[in-house]
Structure 1
Amino acid sequence: MNRRSATVLLSGLFGLSLAGLSAVPAFADTLDAIMQRKKLLVAIDLGNPPHGMMDSEFKPTGSDVETARLLAKDLGVELEIVQVSTPNRVQFLLANKADMVISALSITEERKKVIDFSTAYAELQCVVAAPKAMKIASYADLGDKGGIAVTRGTVNDQELTRGTANVKDVKITRFEDDPTSTVAITSGQLGIYATSLPLLNQLRKDNPKLDLDTKFVMKGFPLGIAFRKNEPKLAAKLNEWVTTNLKNGKLVEIYDRYHGVKLVPAELAAKS
């Protein structure tokens, strides 16, 4: 083989090697990135009490905020809250603007197609609420009752849409975030609210004279810490952390303090 032929052969083999390398899917190791920068970026909706909200001194608080703080402390890193709205939580994660989402994000099969979740750290009940005098016991009773407020893209929206698919004269008004949905209820613009039980409880606490009763539970969803796919090290770390802090009672105490509900770790594990 002459020198020119050898050069052509080597060039071809080198090209094939590069092609092979470029075909291997590469992904950043988020856990290592967090530890190297010594900062954890967590997406949280601070307009979704009592999961995320601002206190009287305009500082972030809520069960998800406390959960994120505990995680950052245990990792030995600083916490930076990335403020999001309920509809764009997943988009911020996929756009690499946050390392993870801890923001009342329910674990659903639909979401698991695009993101991954830790084992459940809490639970969320989706309910329909309305004035006491209004007779509503199921989806079938929502027809011809006036407008129903719900936040777009949430599991509340999904369950309400599914449950009323065959109910006539149902009027659903979708808002872009929970504060806007809530204003529609407190202002009297709409009378029926499809929302989470914690948000409903917080709403009634803040507005004692508000005529709003829980009519029925649409569905209970486990809540998970969301992160991008193909992150095995991060997944293992988060699952270990959630299991440990449910067992030692720290996550149970946080949820009970803000929601008045005691989590049962064994039941959460079964739903994850």
Structure 2
Amino acid sequence: MSLSEATQRANDGLSALEDATERLLDVVAGLDETTIRGRSALPGWSRGHVIAHLARNADALLNLLTWARTGVEHPMYTSRADRDADIDEGARRSGRLLREDLIAACERFAAAARSLPATAWQAEVVVGDGWPLTGHEIPWLRVREVWIHLADLTCGFDLVDIPDEVLEELIDDAVAHYDGMAGVPSFTVRVDLPNDTQREWIVNGANDSSAGAVRGDAITVLAWLTGRGDARALSGEAPSLPDWI
């Protein structure tokens, strides 16, 4: 991808992120203390855990921006254990402090991204699970985190409320999540997109074990791939997928 193409893709991601972040902050601003302590859609996590995770994820992706800008390795998290401990600690804060932390983390990421030199969008970094990534994909990672976890808050926003124009990007990212993953067969997923077109992805294509093809609309496929919906509304023989972490 050329420098101009990488820069445009990054800028498109940042524009999409502005909309997602605005929606997230609006929802979180309306949560009282009781609601924040309530259960989210994620097993074992309160809504406070989800909010704390979204704040720490912004800082983790800021580390990747720093890596892309400087060329010096800055992993997302020092360790999985430290990541989980930070989320648990954050979840115990008051609603006011959680909101302030989230706002500040979102602003830090946005400011760093907007000031990044264009060449950094072509830099190679590595996400937490060892997956290589080019800099222009970092804003899109944040877009995914915000929209998916906003639905996890179960506070009047669901996956069906995700804007049509970003669904294809989110499915792209979800498919990439399974690349090289042990225990996931190679299979084709055919998606009916909101613009009345269809697109086909091959999931974990490097795996010799084939599981055929499945088909469904964009929201149903996204929910299934991200572990937030089952395969009953899909056609074809949908393989079992590991828990989405």
- TM-score normalised by structure 2 residue count: 0.29
Q: Which has the higher helix share?
A: 2
Greater length-normalized contact order (CA 8 Å, ≥ 6 residues apart): 1
Which has the larger Rg?
1
